[in-house]
Amino acid sequence: MRAGLTIGEFATLTHLSVRTLRRYHESGLLVPTTVDPSSGYRYYTAAQIPSAQVIHQLRQLDVPLAEVKQILATDDPLRRTDLVTAHLRRLEDTLDRTRAAVVSLRTLLRTGTEELPVHLRSEPARTVAAIRGTVGVDDVHHWYAAAMAELDAAFPPGERTGAPAGRYANELFTHGSGEMTVFHPVHQPRAAGRIEVLDLPAVELAVTVHTGPHDDIDVTYGRLGGWATTHTLTVAGPIHETYLVGPRDTDESGRWRTEIGWPIFRLTPD
């Protein structure tokens, strides 16, 4: 009686190479049903084909072997779904970073020697409703969305006196973690939940506007920083952003307008 499917046959049926199947056997991920003690030949059964196909698809998605083991070992469908979903989310984040990098490179390649439109502005001291937090660079978008949603709920449009804005500590860019502050200028700032009443000091800024999606906003940052260091005295301080038109206003990314302010020192005011 035949012992089962040879490793070559099983490889053909599952699209997993013989070398890969041997590696999976050694790691305990996919163990043959029987191994001939004299020849060392591995034999599999047809019942193992679905597991092998699942492994193949998960590895196509670059799921680490340790996580593949977890997925196969659990009998809880919700747990399996959570494990796969977590990896898919990581893949989506990677794709987002790749897309942003491609957009930035294309922007850099087509950016000529045209002068960046920059103006200098004195921002007066003001009191705003704000949320602050120390955030890691990988959590920026999630933290920003949650904080802005909380501010929006607390201060409807009729209470606001200007566009929402943010200040971002240099450490966020240089060390991968730093203080983020997002805020609404409103008629009567008040504290609630994470929201605090915050006094912003007066500041001098070199300002430009980034138009369109944020995928290549780093290019605008670089150009503004280059302009500021060439034309002015720059000072240490958080970068300012004002969201004149953004994703919370329209789904048409071509209409987005983000004002970026670079802290500078001016000997004479306007």
Q: What is the pLDDT of residue 239?
A: 92
How far from 267 is each of 184, 204, 264, 270, CA to CA, in Å?
30, 10, 10, 10
- Per-residue model confidence (pLDDT) at position 111: 54
Specify the CATH number of the domain 119-265: 3.20.80.10
DSSP 192: B
Examine domains 5-73 and 119-265 and report if their fold is the same: no
The alpha-carbon radius of gyration of the chain (Å, integer) is 28
More confident position, 114 or 138: 138
The pair of structure tokens assigned to 69 is 């083991």
Q: Which of the 8 DSSP states describes residue 195?
A: B
Q: What is the pLDDT of residue 90?
A: 77
Q: Identify the pLDDT of residue 51.
A: 84
Closest residue by Cα to residue 11 from 3, 19, 64: 19
The one-letter amino acid at 108: L
CA atoms within 13 A on the CB side of 93: 12
Q: What is the pLDDT of residue 135?
A: 94
Burial of 227 from C-beta contacts in 10 A (0-12 / 13-18 / 19+): middle
For residue 187, what pLDDT band results from cuts at 50, 70 and 90?
A: very high
Residue at token pair 């089962």: 4
**pLDDT tens digits for range 120-161:** 999 999 999 999 999 998 899 899 999 999 999 999 999 999
Q: What is the pLDDT of residues 197-216, one digit of tens each?
A: 999 999 999 999 999 888 77
CATH class of 5-73: mainly alpha
Per-residue confidence (pLDDT) for residue 110, from 0 to 100? 58
Provide φ and ψ at 142, rounded to 5°.
Answer: -65, -45
Q: What Cα–Cα distance (Å) separates residue 63 from each residue in 16, 94, 99, 138?
A: 15, 13, 21, 20
Q: Say if residues 225 and 117 touch (Cβ distance below 8 Å).
A: no
Q: What integer is the mean pLDDT of 13-27?
A: 87
Q: Where are the domains of the chain?
A: 5-73, 119-265
CB neighbours of 107 closer than 8 A, spacing ≥ 6? Answer: 216, 219
Return all residues near 60 (Cβ < 8 A) that are at least 6 apart: none
CA dist 228 → 36, 232, 260 (Å): 73, 5, 12
Listed range (66-75, 144-153, 175-184, 203-212) with the worst mean pLDDT: 66-75
Query: How far is the C-alpha of 33 from the C-alpha of 47, rounded, in Å?
Result: 10
